[in-house]
A and B are shown apart, each in its own frame.
Chain A
Amino acid sequence: MMSLRYLPLWITAALLCLLFGIGGWQFDGFASLAVVSNLFSDNAFLLIVALGMTLVIISGGIDLSVGAVIALSGVAVSLLISQYQWHPLAAFALILPAAALFGALMGMLIHVYKLQPFIVTLAGMFLARGLATTLSEESIAIDHSFYDAIAEFGFMLPGGGWVGASTMIFIVVLVLVIMLMHYSRFGACVYAIGGNSQSAQLMGVPVASTTIAIYALSSVLAALAGIVFTFYTFSGYALAGVGMELDAIAAVVIGGTLLTGGSGFVIGTVLGVLLMGVIQTYIIFDGSLSSWWTKIVIGLLLFGFIVLQKLLSRRTAITLAAGRAGHG
């Protein structure tokens, strides 16, 4: 039982090591700390978004709005800093609660009016993207001493790797989300709702507040990812993060979380994003492979993992049925 639960996680980890090993064997400089630390800093925003998506998917929902929220928070932050001369920290302090409100509203529509998460967050995606383009259609550059300081903030690893502010923010978020999901009452409620929302309600799980909190958290993490994205690009752009929700969902599935909800691990998602990152790095190192292979390989990986999950859940069901028959 236990080993079956962890199997997708082990497979993702093994694939990650295997691909990294192949890369290291084929190319000089692939298996280095510099590549590993770049993997984290280049994908920090995707990692943060995917953590929020893990929460939503474990609860049995889906959040299509995250890519648009990244763009909206990036545009809003850069507008406040560049045009209204706010201090970046003040801008962050306004944007994050605003994102929480945005997510909470979506959660409320989903819970109170029993609307499908897919279509509500789709509307949320239009709304956030629309707001972002309304605020500014052009890319807004950020020029502030705080951003320069952030770019220089960090420390060198012995092998030539660089741990910057984005990576640190990601690690803090990761620890918080793991604590929340695996060691708190809230996390248990999220798993219960994903398993069966009706049973959870009957067991006394506060379904309303938990659902609202899940979507609020997802939006906050997306807004945070948008902020981290501005550290990376030094600008805010309304068309940033198009399609990032798909990358996040793919990473969550590759990380072994069931899309039907109720089962999965936070750390799996991190492995999923890293696996996608290593594929991309491999293709860049190789040079002769074209970029579209990334999409095809990720599609095939997704397929493999979904079939694996199907086989596993069928096996579990058979084991359970056999056990019941044996007792009867």
Chain B
Amino acid sequence: MKPTQPCADSLQQARLARYSPGSTKASARYLWPLAALMLLLAVNLLLDAGFFQLSFQDGRLYGSLIDILNRSAPVALLAIGMSLVIATGGIDLSVGAVMAIAGSICANLLLQADLPLPLVIAAGLATGIAAGLINGTLVSYLKIQPIVATLLLMVAGRGVAQLINQGQIVTFLRPDFAWLGSGSWLGLPVPVWLVIVMFGLSQLLLRRTALGLFIEAVGCNATASRYLGINDKAIKLFVYAFAGFCAALAGMISAADIQGSDANNAGLWLELDAILAVVIGGAALSGGRFSLLLSVIGVLIIQSLSTTIIVSGLPAKFNLLIKAVVVLLVLLLQSDKFRRQLSSWWPKLRKWRKGGQP
């Protein structure tokens, strides 16, 4: 059955107003994160004149930019899943542990030499979906707070991964699986392609159907959206399963990259980076509006920041410190009160500079 025309029209208009690049609101949302990314890249160019240089060797592009893209692939996948979870007002702390579980499952299956590769990949992805379904059930049907529900799997999940690996670092020699992490196709590394494909498919799924709007509606007000006929529980279940799927994919990339599964360190603390990327992209942790593109830009900002610190010759130990300062600044800029304070200081500052008195 088709929706009635006026309703569809106004919905369409509302979406256009929010998402079309021409509208002031949409451009303002994209302006700041993009400006931050450009600024970082410009700083890199000043520090290192060859920063933007790309070279083509053995059918693959090399260069700092490609390096940034390649390194941010796992977190970008996590951030795509995390965006949806945060849009429903939730949070998923377990994605790092899910990465470890998926990696350990794949590594152990790969040791059985006769298993075909698609089966191994399917098993890894199924693990992620299963973990996500556990989280989603706890959140939507048992109504447990998302932080707590996913904390369970964060604590227990790493234990499960160690159990699967029997406490060892399981290594495998399978060039076909390793291709996922270190191969290249049409000049770009495979992880980057995986992110592009995942991003494109999710964007199609979310924005060409009503699903994205439903997710935002649930995040704004779950009760109200239930009265509108949206199955808010199913939506929440879906976003956690989706985040689990993304986490499993990220876990397989990082396992393929080192050709082994390390239950202790795979994906360790990456959930925090993913949450941070989504927040830097301008999403509110209380739920509502989301943008996959902004989240991915957030990931690129974090990764370029680390690269900038390395390129600038500062010791790597300053990495965390600078990250903390940047996060605090971004958080403050998102706070209404701080922006009001800034705008009230600005005229005073100008007056003071002109008049030479406070």
Shortest Cβ distance from A129 into B: residue = B320
User: Which residues A281-319 have CB closer than 8 A to chain B?
Assistant: 290-296, 298-300, 302-303, 306-307, 310
**With A115-B335, A119-B331, A120-B331 known to touch, is A126 a contact of B156 (CB < 8 Å)?**
no
User: Which residues A116-140 have CB closer than 8 A to chain B?
Assistant: 116, 118-120, 122-124, 126-127, 129-131, 133-134, 137
Identify A130's interface contact among B151, B160, B324, B336, CB under 8 A. B324
Q: Are A302 and B163 in contact (CB under 8 A)?
A: no
Q: Are A290 and B142 in contact (CB under 8 A)?
A: no
Quick check: is A112 within 8 A (CB to CB) of the other chain? Answer: yes
User: Which residues A196-236 have CB closer than 8 A to chain B?
Assistant: none
Q: Are B145 and A259 in contact (CB under 8 A)?
A: yes
Q: Are A126 and B144 in contact (CB under 8 A)?
A: no
Q: Are B163 and A310 in contact (CB under 8 A)?
A: no
**With A113-B335, A119-B279, A292-B159 known to touch, is A306 a contact of B144 (CB < 8 Å)?**
yes
For residue B155, which residues in chain A have a CB less than 8 angstroms away from its CB?
Answer: 246, 250, 295, 298-299, 302
Number of residues in B with C-beta < 8 Å to the partner? Answer: 46
The 10 closest A-B pairs by CB, nearest first: A299-B156, A295-B159, A130-B321, A130-B320, A126-B324, A292-B162, A127-B324, A113-B335, A296-B159, A292-B159
Q: Are A302 and B318 in contact (CB under 8 A)?
A: no
Q: Are B154 and A133 in contact (CB under 8 A)?
A: no
Q: Are A113 and B91 in contact (CB under 8 A)?
A: no
| B266 smallest CB distance to A (angstroms) | 14
For residue B142, which residues in chain A have a CB less than 8 angstroms away from its CB?
Answer: 307, 310
User: Which residues B147-177 have CB closer than 8 A to chain A?
Assistant: 147-149, 151-160, 162-163, 166-167
| B188 smallest CB distance to A (angstroms) | 31
For residue A126, which residues in chain B have a CB less than 8 angstroms away from its CB?
Answer: 320-321, 323-324, 327
Interface residue SS majority, chain A: helix
> Interface size bucket, A side?
35 or more
Q: Are B148 and A123 in contact (CB under 8 A)?
A: no
- Cα A128 to Cα B39 in complex, Å, equals 26
For residue B338, which residues in chain A have a CB less than 8 angstroms away from its CB?
Answer: 113
Q: Are A130 and B148 in contact (CB under 8 A)?
A: no
For residue B324, which residues in chain A have a CB less than 8 angstroms away from its CB?
Answer: 123-124, 126-127, 130
Listed A/B pairs (9) with beta-carbon separation below 8 Å: A109-B331, A112-B337, A119-B285, A122-B327, A124-B324, A126-B321, A133-B320, A292-B162, A295-B162
